[in-house]
Amino acid sequence: MLNPINILEYEQLASKNLSQMAWDYYVSGAQDEITLNDNRAAFNRFKLLPKVLLDVSQRDLKTTILGQSLQLPILIAPMAFQCLANAEGELATAKVAAEFGIGMVLSTLATQSLEKVAAVSQNNPLWFQLYVHRDRGLTRALVERAYAAGFTALCLTVDAPLLGKRERDARNEFVLPQGMELANLVSLKDIEIPHAYRESGLFKYFAEQLNPALTWKDLEWLRSLTPLPLVIKGILRGDDAIKAVEFGIKAIIVSNHGGRQLDGSIATIDALSEIVEAVNHRVEILVDGGIRRGTDILKALALGAKAVLIGRPILWGLAVAGESGVRQVIDIYKDELDLAMALSGCASLSDIDSSLVRKNYE
């Protein structure tokens, strides 16, 4: 398979290019991986109802998120430790995001510093994903650095007071390879992913460093640190979405952390409609999890998402061919979405609505 033509083929190639520890870290979900697998299966339960005899000779895939222009309704999801896939890691990802004019969300646990990533992003929409540490001074410093570097939004992950039990990582006693570091944290505090006997070092890191006492009231403190719009990632309920609006959140990412936190939780595409209805256009809604085809993006947009976040497939591209691999992965999504829109009678994203999808409950 020298020339992969879809995301599944990229995944198959990536499995051969990564160490067992890196592959298991990237691909795994929590416990029995029920939610991980259902994220993908849930898209297949939605069927498309295409419109016909409409002029689709020209298609426009552009949109805006938080007033920022995107050439495609896609952002690259925050993913830790991208240098496990390729030495350039997050730098390669950011360069491709800028080339395509799509958004990127950089993880707190990146293996390239936020300043270096910002420097190659060419003023492209760039958000910083934040984990709130027990050390509030450390959290404040991260937020201030992101703002100073030119990031355009702060994305708070709220579904990880503790790390989900990822049994593959525990079996491997996951730890970063020698010479790889938490690039955003080493300059602020001597923090690393520790080795843990019969456990994931990342699980131990979360237990020791992150703040499990975070509540809605802490959002006011976070908003006081920066003028950047605050986005919440990890909402799966309509009532939580309403609270987010009440606390001044500007966008919500419907997410179950790629099936890596609470196993058995709802698939994100199944949760999407309730949240869209609950917020009633007051904030923008995005969704991630299990998106492997352009038709998946079309379904998500039809159900009310303004854009989607792509995660693991970016890592597959990195592992197969570095920057070029990421470029090819985004190209696949672009071409597939463009074709799906044409075949559904949609010349622009504004033509996509809920009439295009129906859920099959069988």
- Which residues are annotated binding-site positions for glyoxylate? 25, 131, 166, 257, 260
| CA separation, residue 10 to residues 84, 144, 317 (Å) | 16, 37, 6
Task: Find out whether 164 and 257 touch, Cβ atoms under 8 Å.
Answer: yes
From the candidates 133, 195, 257, 281, give the one annotated as an active-site residue: 257
Task: Find out whether 200 and 64 touch, Cβ atoms under 8 Å.
Answer: no
Q: How many CA atoms lie within 13 A of 290 on its CB side?
A: 27
Is 257 among the catalytic positions? Answer: yes
SS3 32: coil
Token readout for 293 is: 């085809």
List residues forming the annotated binding site: 25, 78-80, 107, 129, 131, 157, 166, 233, 255, 257, 260, 288-292, 311-312
Token readout for 362 is: 């069988």
SS3 231: strand
Alpha carbons 290 and 311: distance in angstroms, whole number: 9
User: Of 17, 38, 120, whose CA–CA distance to 290 is shortest?
Assistant: 38
Describe the chain by its helix, strand, coil percentages, rounded to 5: 45, 15, 40
- Bridge partner list, 285: 252
Alpha carbons 312 and 24: distance in angstroms, whole number: 12
List residues forming the annotated binding site for FMN: 78-80, 107, 129, 157, 233, 255, 288-292, 311-312
Which residues form the catalytic set?
257
